[in-house]
Structure 1
């Protein structure tokens, strides 16, 4: 039996000629049954002796040839004797060779076993020739061990001879049992492949390529990892004996199991255990040496409950844990070993919603139940499983899975495995993953995570995925609500010992509500709170240094970066300026009344929210229908409404985006929705004003207006607190448009009628324009202007432009005035009146 369980797969006597060993165990120390430490060299000597090899020869960068045992050294001298070389023996001295092909070589006499290895002083070429003689001799089963192969082989004096002889060794007769073992310090297969690629030995590269192509290590590539349970048991005894530390024998088997699951080296454990006072669970766990927390079921439930939000997720996790626990108990009572259930899961949700945290807790819970030996979490992205060349993807995927065995493999953005632009390598990773999900179901839990829509498409992309990820094991993580985000934020501030000043608490509430209100599909949830805390911490540090304040100084508004200040409500006093602007508009009495009432309602809700902690002010943020003929002020009022909402803190920007059918509707299938969404994104946090909105509705076959309407309805629902949509147009057409579409009718809160301006109001608009630009106009001319506008209204009827017609008339009169004055001659004696309109400037009807 091999005395070291981490080398149980090392079967050197089975017929392979060349072996490659790599991994963390190559440079590790080994604890023997006699409770002593030895190196990999002596471990291999023991194993090779057990497997029937009589001579073991070593080579390293600083020792061309050496032996660890007397028997190997004695057998090696027979080669010199067969070559006709005389060996002069001297006790305690080197035995010199003279004559023959081996030159002036030195062999060391046998010494006590505790002495250093027996060395032969010679150059590389002599060493490889002598090793070649050993490899070809069939009478003595021989193993040649090349230490630190990366260095030893790369810097050989004659690379051609080295490559040629190793190539010949690989082709020796099958009756020749001799082998050569190459030890690489590489920690992973990829590192091994990279190291071998720098060597000029085709046979070694061929062995590695075979491993890459098959997706698993062949029998002559052996990964040597950390100690197994047998050796860890000896390691605890070794520390107990050598360092005189008390060992809890009752907890020993549990400690061995946990230490084995960590896959650390013996050297690591010996270093860490040197720092503990006692060898028991409490002492070792206090140093946080285990990647998964070791809690009991009560502590598991408490830790789960302490997470913010996620009520439904918590309940389902507890139900799943209870079901697994009962299944194991039934199995124990019946004594029948049943096939382990598939516990793989899909976590669907936006970033920062707790998916990774819950996955880590799943590992801890399953460990405590006894489902997973280690319960650790390995995090990866879907793209981490995919390589760029044939064969490497399966190997890469298997290596990642091997790291996660006895724990949880968390694959974020798992849908990358099913994306078409991966050149087929994604499917290779998926096939490998699904096989391991079945074969290692008792040692592995796979959690695939990502955005909701993409994860559902991922699961449906392959029948094998729907079977391995059952519907019951799909968990949907919702975005955190503002109050939950605020709780997370306060916890993070407390962790950094940042204490907000009393007046700063309200600012934080507004910022969190603003971040939540303006979120999109990329919103980071708890990650956004972490970004905010870090930004505050950095800016606060600058203030403390500049003002020479103590570290425990309170956090205040000055510590808030500018990019977060936009979420703070502006001072309410600004609304009075906007009211004055509203009152300055001519006419529109019912419109003014509605807007003023709307603003007062918002202010009321804000004051109530300040008292009861529930801000309902944004419930007043409703989409509107503006009905009226052209020029009745619809666009102007829409722009003013955006400003009012911004002043009240309802809209972050309050800007106006004006669109018509041409801006929203495209001529090809699928393009209209994209075009409409682009305008919607441009209007977010402001007002989207759709002029002649009824033009979107058409009964013509092949018209894409309905596609635009559908996109608008969805946006009005999804962005109700970030967007105000105003649909405008002629009254009759707008009523028909809204009533014909139930989805629109339910989403517009108010229909506001903009009446035509009266004759007096149009004259008031005209005289206002004259005053604004410094023109004078006589009372008689004003009356004639009123008559002209009334005649125009009668002629154009519903298409009359109202204020737009007044502005057009004003511009026309300025042009006629300029033409009139230009035709007159200017002189010092005669200066024409350029400040007053006269009757001639009035166009004829």
Structure 2
């Protein structure tokens, strides 16, 4: 019998180590395997061939129903008592125990096993006088394991005797022996000699005769599952300790996962079925991409074989269309283009492409060096907003690394934090390892990886620990791509030094520019068979530019274009109905996107009409008039960098700073400089946190909420007024400046406060003065202006001001200002006076006086104004 050649799934299996046991597990243990000689075999037969090629002469198998059986006559002969005295040609022991087996392990006469018991006075040893059964129809000569005749169960060997025999054979230094438990879970659970088996395992663990091998085959998909099965049994502490050691120190060689077939093995399966089952190939040019698509799916070869056999039985050729129609794949690249060609064809992403080429060149240079080195880590971080191509590039990375020889399959497994984290201790590590097992020899793409920090009851930490261990121990078979928003990815990687050490490269995916987004949108419309009219194409370009301009963290990029394409399709379809040849017209643009179209430039008078309602503020009027005229002219001429400046408002309370800030917001919005006219009003309490790092987060969140708006910081000097070392106002100032620099044109910051104190604010960071392009002074209102403001506020509530009331109000303002010049509230004092005047008016008129004047104005008299004090 010849040894079976080693296939890809067993390339790293080590059957000669110093470990006392070998454990096989994973989804492939119940699979069939297509060897390099195109034979299709089950695990038992494949394992027999691998052991034989490693020099094992005696190979013993054990299952729950057959505690002791063989696949070849030599192993059976060498397991008989007295085999040492057998002749070289196999006579002796074999002849004494019955007829010799023929090809495939069956008896010469083909009638079954020899008698199970008998007396052999001359022979002594671990087997006593028991005759071993012969297993018919189980030899390795079969070309297809599935067609081999099933072995006849043997009930003659009891569990205690089988355990004693296994251990006895393993103890013997010659011949080289392997004992294989093909149904390890069932044997460990139902063995009727569990005490003897536990003792044998303990004895074997201490013996450590490395040239012999005790092999256990588990169906569990992860090593954690195997360890839990054994530990829960609480009967086999030696095996449980071995498994824990393998988990704690992977790479020792005692545990091996059998996974899914790769592209090469599936290619051999197709050829096997082509010759045996007459499977036809529709287009040979499509076969290679089809096989790559097959290999990307985590499926057993046995499942692929059944699907392909059905194709052959139906007379359907294997080709792209049939694979899609039968649900074998969801998408196939049939053009034969290399991953580099497809990467280059992706719009934009110039930094990403440049980085990947440099990385590939470096890897090729390292591999060309004569000195052999351990496998280097190839894990990556992809940081960027959604829709920037991270998942697509991760898939291409797998193919590129496969072509470079770094990965065998190069398939992509996508997941997020919820796929790793479970609800109780221990299960999270198992789920994480199961996911990694699926991705072995390919790429594990973990999106929004930082969400592991947010998982309940700390189980996210357990997932990170398990992931770090696999990133290190399987670095030669795995590429992990951690992806997410840039800022949060930086925080996540910095949270654990182990993460940073395992990252080969950090690749930033920038948001697409408007031109690239427009190209993506037109491509999506073309895929939907929609053709924009020429004027519509220009309109869509303007919409895309507007969408990109207001993009913040979380901008969907290609995803946003997909939503726009869907909305355009809906409105177009509603208009054309069955006349699908009609083009996309400007009228098909949904209303909610029209806000991003350029607006007609308003006249200066229209923009500044609201200033006519303000009292005083001459300097402010001049500045706003000049600003409006300049910005309107630049916009009308189509000049670039049309942005509104950041402003400093210096002056006491009640001088109109907040009112003017809101007016600035409306002007900038009308000119199209800001997406909304909203003003976000904050103070120190909204920006400063309670501990180190908290302030930066709060300030950043406030600024991000004010993008495309006006951010009005009242009493901004309070950020720089702290003297305590635990005061975090400086952190807020530094973060504010950084955000102003990183969001040009997306934000107008107006900082307001008393003139003297605001100097401290500007001194808090040397970059602040250059960021605020204009300073406006808001002086105290003169008394006449305060009386005018009072008159206007009263008029809005249907009150009139008599001359006597105006004179007494002026005296009241002068007295208040003199009593507390610094704290005088200006317009705020006007509002307070109006409330007091209403109270005195109500008391003077009584119910009968105001009841009949519901719709008529009421006049304030001098006596309605409180005395000055």
For normalisation by structure 2, the TM-score amounts to 0.67
In structure 2, the CA distance between the partners of 1:577 and 1:436, relative to structure 1 (3 Å rule), is: same
C-alpha distance in structure 2 between counterparts of 1:246 and 1:67, whole Å:
38
Deviation digits for residues 465-486 of structure 1 (CA, Å, limit 9, x no counterpart) = 888868xx55444444444444
More displaced 10-residue stretch of structure 1: 312-321 or 388-397: 388-397
Aligned to 1:208, which of 233, 243, 246? Answer: 243
Contact 2:433 2:467 in 1 (8 A): yes
More displaced 10-residue stretch of structure 1: 685-694 or 666-675: 666-675
**2:839 match: secondary structure:** helix
Q: Quote the offset at 1:761 in angstroms.
A: 4.4
Q: Quote the offset at 1:5 in angstroms.
A: 1.2
- The answer for the alignment partner of 1:82 in structure 2 is none
Aligned to 1:306, which of 340, 345, 351? Answer: 345
C-alpha distance in structure 2 between counterparts of 1:568 and 1:33, whole Å:
63
In structure 2, the CA distance between the partners of 1:456 and 1:175, relative to structure 1 (3 Å rule), is: closer
- The answer for the alignment partner of 2:559 in structure 1 is 530
5+ residue gaps, structure 2, are 83-96, 100-108, 120-130, 143-147
- The answer for the alignment partner of 1:5 in structure 2 is 6
Contact 1:413 1:450 in 2 (8 A): yes
In structure 2, the CA distance between the partners of 1:345 and 1:827, relative to structure 1 (3 Å rule), is: closer
Contact 1:163 1:200 in 2 (8 A): no
Contact 2:380 2:479 in 1 (8 A): no
Aligned to 2:30, which of 21, 24, 27? Answer: 27
Q: Quote the offset at 1:94 in angstroms.
A: 9.9
More displaced 10-residue stretch of structure 1: 760-769 or 273-282: 273-282
Task: Indicate whether 1:586 and 2:587 are aligned.
Answer: no
In structure 2, the CA distance between the partners of 1:575 and 1:40, relative to structure 1 (3 Å rule), is: farther
Deviation digits for residues 504-540 of structure 1 (CA, Å, limit 9, x no counterpart) = 86467446644653513xx2554xx315524863896
In structure 2, the CA distance between the partners of 1:425 and 1:136, relative to structure 1 (3 Å rule), is: closer
Q: Quote the offset at 1:771 in angstroms.
A: 3.2
C-alpha distance in structure 2 between counterparts of 1:327 and 1:645, whole Å:
56
Deviation digits for residues 268-293 of structure 1 (CA, Å, limit 9, x no counterpart) = 67568877999999999999999998
5+ residue gaps, structure 1, are 80-84
Deviation digits for residues 643-694 of structure 1 (CA, Å, limit 9, x no counterpart) = 3434454444433344455665679776665665565456444333334444
More displaced 10-residue stretch of structure 1: 653-662 or 259-268: 259-268
C-alpha distance in structure 1 between counterparts of 2:825 and 2:214, whole Å:
97
- The answer for the alignment partner of 1:690 in structure 2 is 713
For normalisation by structure 1, the TM-score amounts to 0.69
- The answer for the alignment partner of 1:634 in structure 2 is 657
Correspondence list, 1:108-507, <5 A: 116-117=149-150, 119-120=152-153, 128=159, 131=162, 135=166, 147-150=182-185, 161-167=192-198, 169-170=200-201, 182-193=216-227, 196=230, 202=236, 205=240, 207-216=242-251, 219=254, 221-224=255-258, 238-239=272-273, 241-242=275-276, 267=302, 302-322=341-361, 339=373, 344=378, 347=381, 349-352=383-386, 353-368=388-403, 375-376=410-411, 400=436, 403-405=439-441, 430=468, 433-434=471-472, 440=476, 475-495=507-527, 503=536, 506=539
Contact 2:364 2:404 in 1 (8 A): yes
C-alpha distance in structure 2 between counterparts of 1:740 and 1:150, whole Å:
69
C-alpha distance in structure 1 between counterparts of 2:751 and 2:363, whole Å:
56
More displaced 10-residue stretch of structure 1: 225-234 or 312-321: 225-234
Alpha-carbon RMSD: 6.6
C-alpha distance in structure 1 between counterparts of 2:502 and 2:761, whole Å:
50
Contact 2:447 2:482 in 1 (8 A): yes
Task: Indicate whether 1:519 and 2:543 are aligned.
Answer: no
In structure 2, the CA distance between the partners of 1:77 and 1:465, relative to structure 1 (3 Å rule), is: closer
Deviation digits for residues 97-120 of structure 1 (CA, Å, limit 9, x no counterpart) = 9999xxxx9999979989944635
In structure 2, the CA distance between the partners of 1:745 and 1:55, relative to structure 1 (3 Å rule), is: closer
Contact 2:543 2:594 in 1 (8 A): no
Correspondence list, 1:720-759, <5 A: 720-730=744-754, 742-754=766-778, 757=781
Q: Quote the offset at 1:746 in angstroms.
A: 1.6
Q: Quote the offset at 1:813 in angstroms.
A: 3.2
Q: Quote the offset at 1:724 in angstroms.
A: 2.4
Contact 1:401 1:409 in 2 (8 A): no
- The answer for the alignment partner of 1:622 in structure 2 is 645
In structure 2, the CA distance between the partners of 1:414 and 1:774, relative to structure 1 (3 Å rule), is: closer
C-alpha distance in structure 1 between counterparts of 2:375 and 2:199, whole Å:
51
Contact 1:106 1:121 in 2 (8 A): no
C-alpha distance in structure 1 between counterparts of 2:36 and 2:506, whole Å:
49
**1:620 match: secondary structure:** coil
Deviation digits for residues 620-642 of structure 1 (CA, Å, limit 9, x no counterpart) = 32222334455432222222333
Correspondence list, 1:551-630, <5 A: 580-588=609-617, 590-592=619-621, 594-595=623-624, 598-599=627-628, 602=631, 608-609=637-638, 616=641, 619-628=642-651, 630=653
**1:836 match: secondary structure:** strand
C-alpha distance in structure 1 between counterparts of 2:799 and 2:636, whole Å:
47
**2:860 match: secondary structure:** coil
Contact 2:536 2:584 in 1 (8 A): no
Contact 2:649 2:776 in 1 (8 A): yes
**1:624 match: secondary structure:** strand
In structure 2, the CA distance between the partners of 1:745 and 1:461, relative to structure 1 (3 Å rule), is: closer
Deviation digits for residues 689-748 of structure 1 (CA, Å, limit 9, x no counterpart) = 334444555596767654544343333333443432223345676679768975332222
C-alpha distance in structure 2 between counterparts of 1:314 and 1:364, whole Å:
14
